Amino acid sequence: TNGTFLPIQNIQGDILVGMKKQLETFYFFHINDPASFKTALNSYVPTITSTATLLSPASSQPLAFVNIAFSSTGLQALGITDDLGDSQFSSGMYADATNLGDSLSTWESPFAGTNIHGAFLIGTDKLAPQNSYVSFYVSGIVSTFGSSITEVDRIDASARPGDEAGHEHFGFLDGISNPAVAGFSTTVLPGQTVVPSGTILTGRLGDVALRPSWTLDGTFMAFRKLQQKVPEFDAWTLENAIQNPEVTLTVQQGADYLGARMFGRWKSGAPTDITPLVDDPTLGADPQSNNNFDFAHANSSLISDQSRCPFSAHIRKTNPRADLADANTINHAIRAGTPYGPEASSSEASSKTSAQDRGMAFVEYQSTIGNGFRFQQINWANTANFPPLKTVTPGIEPIVGQGSPRTADGLNPVDPSVGYTVPQFVIPTGGEYFFVPSISAITDVITA
């Protein structure tokens, strides 16, 4: 163990360790035959990867890890009718899509409705010849579960190649800021928020709902398939490249500057709040300093200033830090998504138009969907007057914020009052809310 009081051999691995994966396949299934599914799942339990396994020495790790999650209709198909205490989970994401700001017309058919009963997440950091470990595990699932399930959809996600590893498709380093979990995380990095274990795990201290006892040490997973329009993003930031009298910038640098202000971080991960005018790759790569800021600089007047970071920036909207008076730990969640789809080609770049589907297989874990993912999306990213009590209206978050008009303010550092009408570069094309049970809940309740 790592000294935690949490039973880490019983908690599925992706939740707390939040792996950056070289490869990750999301295998969405429908249950045809509950009885034979339960028998198969019982035999499959030893293959499900726990947190303890992921923390064990590399030499004793399996070739790939597997986690399993169930939608509300999936649990019902298995005869589990308990109310898990989360209304969004109970209704499913499709029923919530318009509340999230999605257009149902862009949702792909496998996700439209409640047909998905569960998902296997299969990931690895080990690149075998032909990247075959994940497909080997997928074949294992297909043979173990046979006709008890049908594949509804499959997303083969992977880290981007070479120097872009760890960066999402627009080019920005991801996976920097996740909360530390009290009683589990062995280190707390400078600037990192510590949340009670119950903000992430159901049934633990800090979980705000009453739930059946068997849900202890599970979590809710918000899964989103988020398509990213990369050539369009690149072209728009070039066309709108910004300047600042304090530095001399080429047009490309001005485009990178605008992109950095949309995210609140440069492509290297360096926060604009610390280095507002130029990227600083050394800072971006340093976990001891790349998250150590709160938008206030120990000077409360700067909290109303956008010269360093726009109020509307992705990381400011989704984690407002000192913009809110309280620490706001309840609205944190652990992100564990992986990019999917090919690199943008040169012909897509020259036509400034996406020809292939690429984006983010977005995953966020929390004990209450309405406090985590859903709160960040609806109450923060989509809400024009958030963060509150600013002298100007921040506008919507320009990357994932949804709404009309698509106006984000503060992107121009010289005149932050200029409103930018930002095209939609991230298109939600599906998703579902899942429950990720503990391993004992699988053996004692779900397969019982």
Q: According to CB under 6 A, which one of 148, 377, 407, 412 is a site residue for ligand HEM?
A: 377
Quote the CA–CA distance of 241 and 406 in Å, as a whole number: 18
Q: According to CB under 6 A, which one of 196, 284, 359, 370 is a site residue for ligand HEM?
A: 359
- Kindly report the number of other CB atoms within 10 A of residue 347's CB atom: 10
CB contact at 8 A, 112 and 68: no
Contacts of 31 (CB under 8 A, 6+ apart): 37, 74, 77, 78, 117, 118, 148, 149
Residue with tokens 């399996």: 62
Kindly write down the DSSP assignment for every residue of 331-364, as one continuous string.
Answer: G--EE--EEESPPPPHHHHHHTS--S--EEEEEE
26 binds ligand HEM (CB under 6 A): no
Q: Where do runs of H (alpha helix) occur along 8-63?
A: 13-17, 34-44, 51-55
**Count of positions on this chain that bind ligand HEM (CB under 6 A):** 27
- Kindly state the smallest distance separating residue 181's Cβ from ligand HEM, in Å: 14
175 binds ligand HEM (CB under 6 A): yes
Quote the CA–CA distance of 193 and 247 in Å, as a whole number: 33
160 binds ligand HEM (CB under 6 A): no
CB contact at 8 A, 445 and 213: no
- Kindly state the smallest distance separating residue 1's Cβ from ligand HEM, in Å: 27
Kindly write down the DSSP assignment for every residue of 207-236, as one continuous string.
Answer: --S---GGGTT-EEEEEEEEEE-HHHHHHH
User: Which x/- pattern over 41-70 shows residues binding ligand HEM (rule: CB under 6 A)?
Assistant: ------------------------------
Quote the CA–CA distance of 48 and 53 in Å, as a whole number: 10
101 binds ligand HEM (CB under 6 A): no
Kindly indicate which of the ranges 36-44, 89-97, 158-166, 370-378 contains the residues binding ligand HEM, using the contact rule CB under 6 A. Answer: 370-378
Q: According to CB under 6 A, which one of 41, 64, 134, 426 is a site residue for ligand HEM?
A: 426
Token digits of residue 191: 């600037």
Name which of residues 380 to 419 contact ligand HEM (CB under 6 A).
Answer: 381, 399-400
Quote the CA–CA distance of 68 and 159 in Å, as a whole number: 21
- Residue 1 or 385: the one with the smaller Cβ distance to ligand HEM is 385
- Residue 148 or 366: the one with the smaller Cβ distance to ligand HEM is 366
Active site residue 174: yes
Query: Crossing angle for the helix pair 34-44 and 132-145, nearest 10 degrees?
Result: 130
- Kindly state the smallest distance separating residue 198's Cβ from ligand HEM, in Å: 18
User: Which x/- pattern over 316-355 shows residues binding ligand HEM (rule: CB under 6 A)?
Assistant: --xx---------------x--------------------
Contacts of 161 (CB under 8 A, 6+ apart): 343
- Residue 54 or 100: the one with the smaller Cβ distance to ligand HEM is 100
Catalytic residues: 174
State the residues that interact with ligand HEM by CB under 6 A.
Answer: 168, 170, 172, 174-177, 224, 226, 228, 263, 265, 314-315, 318-319, 335, 359-360, 362, 373, 376-377, 381, 399-400, 426
